[in-house]
Structure 1
Amino acid sequence: MAGAVPVLVTRPQREAAQWVEGLRGHGLAARALPLIDIRALQAPELVQALAQARERLAQYRAVMFVSPNAVGHFFQDFKPNPLSVGVDQAPTAIDTRAWAPGPGTVQALVQAGVAAGRIAAPAAGSAQFDSEALWHCVAAQVRPGDRVLIVRGSGAPAVEGGQGRQWLAEQLRAAGAAVDLVAAYERAAPQLSQEDLALARDAAHGHGLWLFSSSEALAHLQALLPQQDWRQARAIATHPRIAQAARHAGFGAVHECRPTLSDVATSIKSLYAH
């Protein structure tokens, strides 16, 4: 039964494709329906700010990357990667650490050449992969006077410094650290085809299962279908705040699970086993 139910993966295109492949490997009929469009920075002043942040990398105690997209756009054309030297090598190497909120970002950092010994992230068995879980791991490392850079995205129209992770920035400042914020990419609502819109409407009537990993994706969906009734819609949300947003939007059935592929696949299968 579960294998015939379309699971709509709403992550950005690149991540959605990876998740579709993974879910299909679990016997699920997953389809990509990206609800966040990721693109390079367009505004010259934001491009310049990103370049300056790269140049100042050695001044930071740590750099927090909010997502795999943050990693990819920050290190794009930034070679050699200054964080690729192991922490026990080259005494003159910079001492900057990389922070990641979850395994997807950790994987992106490793693929970008960041030495594993430089990465701090929540343990694989954590209940959630978010700012709170990351802060639990790194709070003891923060010293008064440290400088931390948060690399994030910006909504459209793009704004200086980007948006998101305000809670983490507040914790860092309360601990005495100086926090800089830089946008590495832009997020925007997608342009869906008529076929995609029809797929979304079918899923709104219960002929599919939504997989949400972002409240922003949900907001874009509501904007794309402003008159849609969601009472028959079913969703899996990978964070309590996203689940709350889906319920507030009127989704009839919303289930929460950990944001790992195996947990999501198991949760989906369990829904159709009863």
Structure 2
Amino acid sequence: MTPAAALPTVLVTRPQPQADDWVARLQALGAPAQALPLMRIVRREGFDAAVRAAWSDLARHRLVMFVSPNAVLAFFAGRPEGAAWPAQTLAGATGPGTIAALRAQGVDARSIAAPPEDAASFDAESLWRHALAGLDWTQRQALIVRGEDGRDWLATTLRQAGAHVDALAAYARAEPAWSAAESAALAVVARDPAAQVWLFSSSQCIAHLLRAPVDAATLAALRQVPVLATHARIAETARSAGFVSVVPVRPDPLEVRQALKRSQEPRA
């Protein structure tokens, strides 16, 4: 068995506070991990008024879909005092992180619509297929709480099913500030690419890394770091960007740990 000390360090690129949470969960499984966020979440101006209006009308919605834990945090930060989640309103989530964020805010598990734990993928298509496709959406109201931009697949699918769909932009995704400490962290990674592995949960994180203020040699070395990608689309983005080793993995710390172990096993 490969000792945990021999495993490469997982570079968790999610925004904070999710990065630190993932680091703690990976370390608890014996996997070396370090937070190296490649995205910042910036609260949108005017969101507070919009979320107050949404809460006042929440019970009229059949579904409020949250695209990420950050969407949950932003939406519930504006919850009126004493307001409870309406039992008849589904809280949509595509993956375990968003489910956990909803449960932490007191949303009953029976009100959460999400793919099952053993789903092959955690995305809007899986959410629709497993939890929403069998419902009658004719003239029903749906709200999607998301970033400033994002995929419109679920909104389009709900409208085709007869629903009235609105979107509420809770935050913008921004590049890291690229402080001296962040730039130094990239330089350390570039000096020993085989000792780390990128964990990418967003194609935007890859784009931000490629625009980092580093020289060409450092960027080339950063592309030599193996990649674990939490979705097939992210894996394809990484391959297209020139990363030399890309492996898809479900967004689960235990499965990331198992992928690390497999990567250290001798090839036949």
Same fold by TM (over 0.5)?
yes
2:16 maps to which of 13, 17, 21? 13
2:211 maps to which of 217, 223, 235? 223
Alignment deviations for residues 241-274 of structure 1 (CA, whole Å, 9 cap, x no partner): 0000111111011111111111111001211222
Alignment deviations for residues 17-50 of structure 1 (CA, whole Å, 9 cap, x no partner): 1110111112222000011112322x23x43333
Alignment deviations for residues 119-163 of structure 1 (CA, whole Å, 9 cap, x no partner): 111000001111011011211114211110000122xxxxxxxx2
Amino acid across the alignment from 2:189: A
Does the C-alpha gap of structure 1 residues 257 and 128 become closer, same or farther in structure 2, counting only changes over 3 Å?
same
2:103 maps to which of 107, 110, 132? 110
Q: How far 1:217 sits from its partner (Å)?
A: 1.1
Q: What are the equivalent positions in structure 2 for 1:244-259 lying under 5 Å apart?
A: 244-259=236-251
User: Which residue does the alignment assign to 2:25?
Assistant: 22
Q: How far 1:104 sits from its partner (Å)?
A: 1.2
Q: In structure 1, the residue corresponding to 2:168 is in which secondary structure?
A: strand
User: Which residue does the alignment assign to 2:92?
Assistant: 99
Task: Give me the CA root mean square deviation.
Answer: 1.8
User: Which residue does the alignment assign to 1:234?
Assistant: 226
Gaps of 5+ in 2: none
2:144 maps to which of 147, 150, 168? 150
Alignment deviations for residues 169-203 of structure 1 (CA, whole Å, 9 cap, x no partner): 11111111111000122321111333332332443
Kept in 2, the 8 Å contact 1:81–1:113? The answer is no
Amino acid across the alignment from 1:6: T
Kept in 2, the 8 Å contact 1:75–1:81? The answer is no
User: Which residue does the alignment assign to 1:58?
Assistant: 59
Q: How far 1:223 sits from its partner (Å)?
A: 1.3
Kept in 2, the 8 Å contact 1:39–1:186? The answer is yes
Q: In structure 1, the residue corresponding to 2:94 is in which secondary structure?
A: coil
1:200 maps to which of 173, 180, 186? 186
Aligned equivalents of 2:197, 2:179: Cα separation in 1: 19
User: Which residue does the alignment assign to 1:92?
Assistant: none
**Number of aligned residues:** 255
Q: How far 1:73 sits from its partner (Å)?
A: 0.8
Aligned equivalents of 1:249, 1:122: Cα separation in 2: 30
Using the size of structure 1 for normalisation, the TM-score is 0.87
User: Which residue does the alignment assign to 1:68?
Assistant: 69
Kept in 1, the 8 Å contact 2:198–2:228? The answer is yes
Q: In structure 2, the residue corresponding to 1:172 is in which secondary structure?
A: helix
Q: How far 1:2 sits from its partner (Å)?
A: 5.2
1:120 maps to which of 96, 102, 113? 113
Aligned equivalents of 2:264, 2:152: Cα separation in 1: 38
Percent of residue pairs identical: 44
Does the C-alpha gap of structure 1 residues 197 and 246 become closer, same or farther in structure 2, counting only changes over 3 Å?
same
1:169 maps to which of 149, 155, 174? 155
Aligned equivalents of 1:225, 1:257: Cα separation in 2: 29
Aligned equivalents of 1:253, 1:73: Cα separation in 2: 35
